Amino acid sequence: MSLKIPKVIGHRGAAAYAPENTLEGIHTAADMGVEWVELDVKLTRDQVPVIFHDETLERTTNGSGKLAETDYEDLKQLEAGSWYGDSFSGIKIPTLEEAIDVLLERGLGLNLEIKPCPGREMETAEAALDVLSQIWDDHDSLLISSFQHVSLEAARDVAGDWKRGLLMPEEWPENWKELADYLGISTMNLNNTGLEREMIEQVIDDLDMPVLVYTVNDPDRARQLQGWGADGFFTDTPDVILENLLSVH
């Protein structure tokens, strides 16, 4: 069993063309020929896994306050598109289940980032995996990733057969190799900022696993990273990166 990770993964759907982390974003990515998207999952106060990035509601909705302190019924009333553009007004924050339905309908793979609010690292992973395990069958087209080691630990313990990716901040922890080994990960997802050839080569030499880089919107940079050995890219502009990558035979 091996992950079928494409070279290009739409970041939060296709964030340059549609509101991030929305069903519309997933459809937009699929319409561009993207094979996988990356989405963020958090929990509402009443434990419903929803596709959302921030801890607070202000940036991408007409609501305010913390997502973790908002019940799903209240979240459902919010509007999550007009901040991006008038043509998207009226769209909603999707539940994880609604997002999976669209992904399956469009035949897309998923990198689901567990993005817990502080203190909810374990329960967010468990709730998200509970939903996924009931609906998602294809182990080759799903990657569970997180910056939070506790979330990846929970993912390993409750759904060890799903592949996991370790998200690395710009400053790598000194024990990154031990962490990767302990968490039993399958990919290293590296920050584009400050990323150098030696860092990619170190992962390839020491861990022998795919290197994915986030968030890469500059085609020249994508080609450079590809030349250094990066396997895939999270991007807001999947069409541009797809067109400009070196074809590897």
DSSP letter (8 states) at residue 66 = B
Provide CB contacts within 8 A for 181, sequence distance 6+.
none
Contacts of 117 (CB under 8 A, 6+ apart): 42, 43, 55, 66, 67, 68, 124
Neighbours of 246 (CB within 10 A): 10
Is 149 catalytic? The answer is no
**Catalytic residue from among 27, 53, 149, 249:** 53
Answer yes or no: 139 catalytic. no
What 8-state DSSP symbol labels residue 245? Answer: S
Which residue has 């769209």 as its token pair? 91
H helical segments located in the chain = 23-31, 72-75, 96-106, 121-135, 149-158, 176-183, 197-207, 219-227, 238-244
Contact yes or no for 113/166 (Cβ under 8 A)? no
Active site residues: 11, 53
